[in-house]
Amino acid sequence: MFERIGTTFGQYSSYGPKEKYIFDSTVNQVDKHFPDNRNLVINTTWFGPQFGNGQWERANSFKQDFDNLFLLSVIDPLYLYKEDLDLLIEKYNIKNVYKIGMFEDSIYEWNFHALIGKDVMPSYTDNQIKMKENPAYIYMLYQRKPRDHRIEITEILRQRDLLKHGVVTLGAPEPGETFHGHHKNWEALVIDDYSDDYIGSSPRPNERYGGVPDDLVTVGRLDLWKDHFLYIASETVFNEWEPLLITEKIWKSMIGLRPYIVHGNPKTYSWLKKHGFKTFNQYWKHIDVENIGAHDTVYRVIEFLQTQDLNSMYVDMLSDLEYNKLRFYEFSKEQEYIMENIFNEKA
């Protein structure tokens, strides 16, 4: 038997139908592979006592014990605090906890943002996305929600007079949101950057957050994309002690034939290499981007690139860029297979 708990993105959003399908599929696989156990399956999207959607209360309302707890992380990281998870485990005398989906340390890991990429990301031709000769901008840094680390790096780039060398966005405050932490005032950076293939997270056309499009799957305006060299992936999760989260932000560099650095958890590089992707840190190997603070690495790489011939560097790395694009679509299919066959030869 099983009980299922959790909510999903709306069914009219670009991610909602796939998330619901994955939730349903996971529950069915649990029921098939653990038919004699009492199973509790929780989709962790907006799950925890801090969310006012009633799912945490439902999870604490059962009268029977459970043998197994299945935590399914589809789109976002697990926001459930350890002490709250421990309370559930103790309350229901749970013997086994299975972490499925976006958990870097799990044998049941798969990456949703790659999995869905083959279905929703545009199939750009190389001519549409290759860097033009003598690009106007050294880098691109698209940032939507104004999280602490994004506000901070934008201010660092401003202080070092580097904003003029990039295409940079940063959302303004939205009523009721607290992504910006202790930051009270900052300058929003917005541009007219809707692409023809824009797909956001809601059914509302051209949805913006603080003035920045919620563009989940495209590389943005192709004229701007072709006119920059380095893509800086500003990930949702920043600190190295937090769970690793790999989202569409990094995959855009793959489909868009761009070298990248990560403004986020430095463990991202080893994760990508483990899964067969090329990194480009050998081109700025004197900067230890995989081990030192991400704020420092971002501006130091940009300042280094100011002294380099970007045209010749791009030509030199093009074969690896093309490899990453092909590898992304292979990887996307692999993630779909793992998601559909979670417990094969593992249970």
Which of 84, 109, 134 finishes a domain? 109
pLDDT at position 201 is 52
- 85 within some domain: yes
| Segments of the chain scoring below 70 in pLDDT | 175-185, 193-210, 345-347
pLDDT at position 187 is 79
- 76 within some domain: yes
Which strands sit side by side in the sheet containing 137-141, from one edge to the other? 166-168, 137-141, 228-234, 260-263
Tally of domains within the chain: 2
Helix intervals (H) in the chain: 16-33, 55-59, 82-91, 112-115, 117-120, 126-129, 148-159, 222-226, 248-255, 267-274, 294-305, 310-340
Tracing tokens 């957050």 back to the chain, one arrives at 209
Which of 109, 128, 157 finishes a domain? 109
If we measure between CA atoms, which residue out of 287, 272, 283 comes closest to residue 323? 272
Identify the CATH number of the domain in which residue 318 sits.
3.40.50
Q: Quick check: helix, strand or coil at residue 213? A: strand
Distances (CA, A) of 194 to 12, 119, 215, 223: 20, 20, 8, 11
If we measure between CA atoms, which residue out of 93, 109, 42 comes closest to residue 70? 42
pLDDT, tens digit (0-9, with 9 covering 90-100), for 254-297: 999 999 999 999 999 999 999 999 999 999 999 999 987 789 99
Q: Are residues 105 and 247 in the same domain?
A: no
Q: Are residues 137 and 268 in the same domain?
A: yes
Structure tokens at 170: 């940063």
Q: Are residues 7 and 46 in the same domain?
A: yes
Q: How many helices (H) and strands (E) does the chain have?
A: 12, 11
Q: Are residues 216 and 194 in the same domain?
A: yes
Structure tokens at 25: 């599929």
Q: Are residues 77 and 137 in the same domain?
A: no
Please give the Cα distance from 275 to 55 (Å, whole number).
34
pLDDT at position 217 is 80
Q: Are residues 72 and 48 in the same domain?
A: yes
Show Cβ contacts of residue 107 under 8 Å, excluding neighbours closer than 6 positions. Answer: 346
Q: Are residues 66 and 134 in the same domain?
A: no
Is residue 56 within 8 Å of residue 70, measured between CB atoms? no
- 229 within some domain: yes
Q: Are residues 168 and 104 in the same domain?
A: no
Which of 109, 141, 159 finishes a domain? 109
Range of the domain at 51: 2-109
pLDDT at position 347 is 47
pLDDT at position 238 is 87
Q: Are residues 240 and 221 in the same domain?
A: yes
- 169 within some domain: yes
Q: Are residues 175 and 299 in the same domain?
A: yes
The DSSP result for 37-92, as a single string, is S-EEEEE-TT-STTS-SSHHHHHT--SS--SEEEEEESSSPP---HHHHHHHHHHT
Is residue 191 within 8 Å of residue 164, measured between CB atoms? no
Distances (CA, A) of 347 to 29, 340, 342: 11, 14, 9
- 339 within some domain: no
If we measure between CA atoms, which residue out of 189, 264, 267, 266 comes closest to residue 233? 264
Torsion angles phi and psi, residue 344, rounded to 5? -60, 120
Q: Are residues 91 and 162 in the same domain?
A: no
- 7 within some domain: yes
- 158 within some domain: yes
Q: Are residues 96 and 145 in the same domain?
A: no
pLDDT at position 145 is 86
pLDDT, tens digit (0-9, with 9 covering 90-100), for 93-149: 999 999 999 999 899 999 999 988 888 888 899 999 999 999 999 999 999 888 889
pLDDT at position 208 is 59
- 337 within some domain: no
